[in-house]
Amino acid sequence: MIKKKKPINRLKEKVKTAKKRKASSTRWLQRQLNDPYVKRAQSEGRRSRAAFKLIEIDKKFKLLKMKQTVLDLGAAPGSWTEVIVERTRGRVMGVDKLPMDAIDGAELLQFDLMDQESFEELKNIIDGKVDLVLSDMASETTGHKPTDHIRTQGLAELAADYAINFLNPGGAFCSKVFHGGAHDILLKLLKENFTEIKHYKPPASRKESPENYVIAKNFKK
C-alpha cells in the first residue's frame, strides 16, 4: 500500500497563543516570522529590517555618495549607519539616545537630540558641516494615534533643524514623517531651505504603518 505523503505546510508560520502572551504580541511575532524583510535582514546579517528602507530610498533618490560626511539621527540599533558606511566610506556619525554596538567606520554618539546641550556638543564634535542628514527618529508608540503622530512630527522638525544648522550648501536631508507626509510647518521650513522636496514610502515600510519619508535636496544656504 502506498502511504500518502503528508502535505508540506508551505503556508504562513502560525504562532500558538501562549496563555501569558497578549494578542498584540502574538500578532507582532506572527508578522515578524512571516516578514520577508526580517528573513532577508537575518540572512544578510543586518541589525534590523530598517536597513532596506534606506537601501530603497537611496536606490530612488541617490543620496549616498562616496566620501560624504553623514549625520544619522535616531540611529540605533544601527542598520542605517552600517549601510551609510558601506556606501560612503566617509565620515559617518550615528546619534541615538540609546546605546549601540560599535560599527567599524562610524562614530557612535549617545545623545538625546531634544536636549539643547546635545546640540552644542554635537556642533563641537562635527566641527564643520556635513553633506547629508538622515533621520529615522521615532518615539516609542503609545497606541494613541494622535499622540504618536504629534511626537513623530516633532522629531522630524527637530531633525530638519539639525539639518539646517549643519548642512553644507547643496546638501540633502531625509526624514521619517507620518501619514500624508511632512506637515505644514515642516514643509514650509523645507521649502524655504531646499529647492527639491519629495515624499516616498519605500516598499520595506509596512503598508499598515503611517510612516513615510520626506526627501529634501539641494540645501540653499
Ligand X SMILES: C[S@@+](CC[C@H](N)C(=O)[O-])C[C@H]1O[C@@H](n2cnc3c(N)ncnc32)[C@H](O)[C@@H]1O
Binding site for ligand X (CB under 6 A): 47-48, 50-51, 74-80, 96-98, 112-114, 136-139, 155
> What cell does 186 get?
515642516
CB of 209 to ligand X, least distance (A): 11
For residue 194, report the phi and psi dihedrals to the nearest 5 degrees: -130, 155
Minimum CB distance to ligand X smaller for 26 or for 111: 111
Considering only CA atoms, which of 91, 58, 25, 97 is closest in space to residue 213?
A: 58
CA angle 139, 141, 145 (to 5 degrees): 115
Minimum CB distance to ligand X smaller for 7 or for 99: 99
Residue with smallest beta-carbon separation from ligand X: 74
Report the 10 Å Cβ neighbour count for 179: 13
> Is position 176 annotated as part of the catalytic site?
yes
Considering only CA atoms, which of 162, 156, 75, 173 is closest in space to residue 119?
A: 162
Minimum CB distance to ligand X smaller for 112 or for 196: 112
CB of 113 to ligand X, least distance (A): 4
CB of 158 to ligand X, least distance (A): 7
Pairing of strands 167-178, 211-219: antiparallel
Q: Which of 59, 176, 198, 207 is catalytic?
A: 176
Active site residues: 176
